[in-house]
Amino acid sequence: MTLAEESPAIVVFGSQTTETHWQEVLWGIEEEGIPWVWYSTEEESALAESAWQAASQSPLRVGIGCNPQQLLVHYQHLDAATPLFRLLTTDSPAEARRTGHNAARLVKGLPFK
């Protein structure tokens, strides 16, 4: 089964250890009523490419790639090298949650916060 055949969700690619690190982003997505699904990745590919691959495999065309230092939100119709949002670990929890809200709002076609 491919990701596109699964239920619609924002696809997130990252290592298992980074899921709790970016929990605020995931909560922001949930608060907007959009599901997400985490796929653990072991390979260290370019983060922008990973985020774009996640968006390409998401039925909602929005994907996230993350590592312990940063998180990128990507949209399938953008160039692979230019993600829509970039979040660093030094950003506040409020900014992380807002990034999650905005990823979900991209799916819903609503203005960003």
Residue 110 neighbours by CB under 8 Å, 6+ apart:
none
pLDDT tens readout for residues 43-88? 667 999 999 999 999 999 999 999 999 999 999 999 999 999 999 9
pTM of the predicted structure, to 2 decimals: 0.92
The superfamily (CATH) of domain 7-108 is B12-dependent dehydatase associated subunit (3.40.50.10150)
Where do the domains of the chain lie?
7-108
The pLDDT tens digits for 90-99 are 999 999 999 9
